[in-house]
Structure 1
Amino acid sequence: MAERAVTDLGFGLGLRSQHYPAILEGTPDVDWFEIISENYMVDGGRPLAKLMAIRERYPMVMHGVSLSIGSTDPLNMDYLARLKALAARVEPAIVSDHLCWTGVAGLNMHDLLPLPLTEEALAHVAARVDQVQSFLGRELALENASTYVTFAQDAIPEWEFLAEIARRTGCRLLLDVNNIYVSAFNHDFRAIDYIDAIPREAVAYIHLAGHENNKTYIIDTHDHPVVGDVWQLYAHAIQRLGPVATMIERDDKIPPLEELVQELAHARKVAAAALKKQAQVA
């Protein structure tokens, strides 16, 4: 299985249909786009045509929400076949999805549900990651999802769980810094400890997004700009991990493309300052 480095991709945005005209009619200062895989797993149509027109100009990463790697249902081979076909068409730098389950017994909850962090779950997920990577013929990147509940059976910190999956399977990690912040607040652990425990070589790229702070809990909504505390956590991640490809997600209350491009420019500045500080410390 050929390994594809994505750390040099630079700074990207999630591709949203509202922005098709601005992208195709201009030259936005975006290095790459991340697509939601399920939006384009079709044989034809306007969205796929627009996607391929943009793909001619920009590198892409594929990001899914339906793999359900943690479910006890058998892997959906029809889904994987369509995912593989889309990857052959798009030729993404990497294919990613979430460390979660989305349903069981054939029922899709349309949500990213947390796993019990146990040795049994770890072995189960690792075996399924091996199966997916073998079928796709490429490495998979798994993202840490934001969580709102934990299991009484939990025996492994999430960061150790993720790191061990990467070690056992050779998969990569999609490190969502906002999700770390959200989960750390909700479950009262130190977000910095999470980042410091992640193996540098496993991280494929980083997600940044906004959230909704309800004072006693935080919900990962992707409908606000990135907040100051998350920018600080991102700076820490870059200082520790080095120059890792980074992108910003916005899934609701989507602003004009130029507004997101400006936020992406801020990400570049934060990363540059963090790398400068890293060099000074070294």
Structure 2
Amino acid sequence: MREPIRLGTGIGWRPEIAEAVENLPGVDWVEAVAENLCPGHLPESLLRLRERGVTVVPHGVSLGLGGADRPDEARLTALAERAEALGSPLVTEHIAFVRAGGPLTASPLLEAGHLLPVPRTRDALRVLCENVRAAQAALPVPLAVENIAALVSWPGEEMTEGQFLYDLADRTGVRLLIDVANLHTNHVNRGEDPAEALGELPVEAIAYVHVAGGFERDGVWHDSHAHPVPRPVLDILADLASRVTPPGVLLERDENFPAPAELERELTSIRETLEKAEAPYRAAGRHGQGAETDAHGDTLADPDPDPHGDALTDPDPDPHGDTLADPDPDRDALAEADDALASRQRVALAQAALLSALVAGTPAPEGFDRVRLGVQARALAAKRADVVAKVAPELPEILGDGYRPAFLAYARRHPMTGGYRRDALDFAGHLLLTGLPEGARARRLRAWWLERSGPAPLSERPVARLARATRRTLLRR
């Protein structure tokens, strides 16, 4: 595996703090949410940072590499376009599923609107590895994938998080984006030991590290990215840095943005944590990425690494060291394809059952903690309400204090089946048809919906037919 790119200290770029990020001292690189960028119309702030030599890494949130379906080609193309437009040395995504249902389960496709954990099983690992390889083949630069925070645990898991990540990196050659805040979240919520996870990781595969804040309520840690980084998260960062020199460390902040001086203090705290942890590491003469490397960055233990850093397939040797000839490779290939499809179907059914319980009110799948599922369901609905308010700020303006309770009531009975903009339109249409707003609010909401719903869609999907029917009803009023 090649030596990772040295990134340094960075911060998540967000439009709300764009000016602050440009003026913060010592920022070597930034990360931007890929889905919020348009390659032909990149924000001026990012262009100025690029001109100054600041590296920009696109961070995807919608691929769903841990989902049962193969990665969507259009989403992969979009991620590749953003990497090329920004001249990025790598792109990142998450080890998560974000949608479930569809053809593999013969059920409606549901969107989570958030990152959900994959079960740490052999089936899920097999599916994830196949999806990661497909993404690697489609992207022009290396891919790194991030461990996520979770509120719920899957029953019957077969591996720890560290083992799961180790096998993923070993089988695919993918690099890892280790979020130490997520390790802390999983420690509080699922009782998982961060030190144990770090001890099982292939540290030489780490591309960079995320650091973020959160808060605890009723014994549950919420990975909010809207609060200061707490000491336990910095302690996990120190533990990681005592084992390996991270190629890059990035501060994430997505909400409740503080003054620039506070962001600078948090970055300083991160640097100081790294320096203190790495001092004994350097004094012991251990430099680099844990495994001994040669001048080209390839591990010396691997005599013949793949030039792209992907794991090599080891043919089946006999006891004397000779490769055995496969008597019927076509039959074996068909059996392998059948096994892979069966794994996808099992993962698809499990994920669809969980997501349906979270967003559609169906019974909790066997083995899950029902109380914790309720916490997760409420968190998903709250996040959905927050994002819809961002993509359609006119809705909370029109509805005032009634926006949030109305949306949460809507969300309990109406799972999200498209993106957030579609969700905003569907919510507004639902309110107008059920007659909740009155007077001037109803007139403003009606005008807003009619303006944005546009001409009748060409698609004949049920959602399109419903939109046309809603439009006809409102135009008659």
Instruction: Please tell me the TM-score bracket, short chain as reference.
Output: over 0.9
- Shift of residue 257 of structure 1? 2.8
Query: Which is richer in helix?
Result: 2
Q: State percent identity of aligned pairs.
A: 31
Say whether residues 1:191 and 2:194 are aligned partners.
yes
- Shift of residue 92 of structure 1? 1.4
Given that 2:92 and 2:143 are in contact with CA atoms closer than 8 Å, whether structure 1 keeps it comes out as yes
- Shift of residue 29 of structure 1? 2.4
In structure 2, do the counterparts of structure 1 residues 79 and 19 end up closer, same or farther at CA, with 3 Å as the change threshold?
same
User: Which of 60, 72, 96 lines up with 1:100 in the alignment?
Assistant: 96
From the CA coordinates, give the structure whose radius of gyration is larger.
2
- Corresponding residue for 2:15? 17
- Shift of residue 16 of structure 1? 1.1
Please state whether the residue corresponding to 2:40 is helix, strand or coil: coil
- Corresponding residue for 1:255? 258
| Paired residues for 1:60-209 under 5 Å | 60-104=56-100, 105=102, 106-209=109-212
Given that 1:118 and 1:155 are in contact with CA atoms closer than 8 Å, whether structure 2 keeps it comes out as yes
Say whether residues 1:55 and 2:50 are aligned partners.
yes
- Corresponding residue for 1:225? 228
- Shift of residue 278 of structure 1? 1.9
Given that 1:23 and 1:54 are in contact with CA atoms closer than 8 Å, whether structure 2 keeps it comes out as no
Please state whether the residue corresponding to 1:43 is helix, strand or coil: helix
In structure 2, do the counterparts of structure 1 residues 60 and 151 end up closer, same or farther at CA, with 3 Å as the change threshold?
same
Counterpart Cα distance in 1 of 2:37 and 2:186 = 30
Please state whether the residue corresponding to 2:192 is helix, strand or coil: coil
User: Which of 227, 241, 245 lines up with 2:244 in the alignment?
Assistant: 241
- Shift of residue 137 of structure 1? 3.2
Segments of structure 1 that go 5 or more residues without pairing to the other structure are none
In structure 2, do the counterparts of structure 1 residues 82 and 243 end up closer, same or farther at CA, with 3 Å as the change threshold?
closer
Higher RCO (CA 8 Å, separation ≥ 6 residues): 1
Segments of structure 2 that go 5 or more residues without pairing to the other structure are 103-108, 286-477
Say whether residues 1:28 and 2:25 are aligned partners.
yes
Moved more, 193-202 or 72-81: 72-81
Counterpart Cα distance in 2 of 1:111 and 1:27 = 30
User: Which of 7, 23, 34 lines up with 1:37 in the alignment?
Assistant: 34
- Shift of residue 126 of structure 1? 0.3
Counterpart Cα distance in 1 of 2:259 and 2:211 = 18
Q: Which amino acid aligns with 1:83?
A: L
Counterpart Cα distance in 2 of 1:177 and 1:227 = 11
Moved more, 260-269 or 47-56: 47-56
Aligned CA-pair RMSD = 1.8
Counterpart Cα distance in 1 of 2:55 and 2:3 = 13
- Shift of residue 197 of structure 1? 1.0
Counterpart Cα distance in 2 of 1:4 and 1:255 = 35
- Shift of residue 50 of structure 1? 3.2
CA-to-aligned-CA distance 1:62-112 (integer Å, 9 cap, x gap): 211111001122321111111111111102132111100000234321110
Counterpart Cα distance in 2 of 1:32 and 1:137 = 20
Counterpart Cα distance in 1 of 2:197 and 2:216 = 20
Q: May I ask how many residue pairs the two structures share in their alignment?
A: 277
Counterpart Cα distance in 1 of 2:48 and 2:97 = 33
Counterpart Cα distance in 2 of 1:61 and 1:4 = 18
- Shift of residue 52 of structure 1? 2.0
Q: Which amino acid aligns with 1:102?
A: V
Given that 1:19 and 1:256 are in contact with CA atoms closer than 8 Å, whether structure 2 keeps it comes out as no
Q: Which amino acid aligns with 1:240?
A: R
**TM norm structure 1:** 0.92
Query: Which is richer in strand?
Result: 1
Please state whether the residue corresponding to 2:233 is helix, strand or coil: helix
In structure 2, do the counterparts of structure 1 residues 3 and 278 end up closer, same or farther at CA, with 3 Å as the change threshold?
closer
Counterpart Cα distance in 2 of 1:85 and 1:4 = 25
Given that 1:117 and 1:161 are in contact with CA atoms closer than 8 Å, whether structure 2 keeps it comes out as yes
**TM norm structure 2:** 0.56
- Shift of residue 4 of structure 1? 7.0
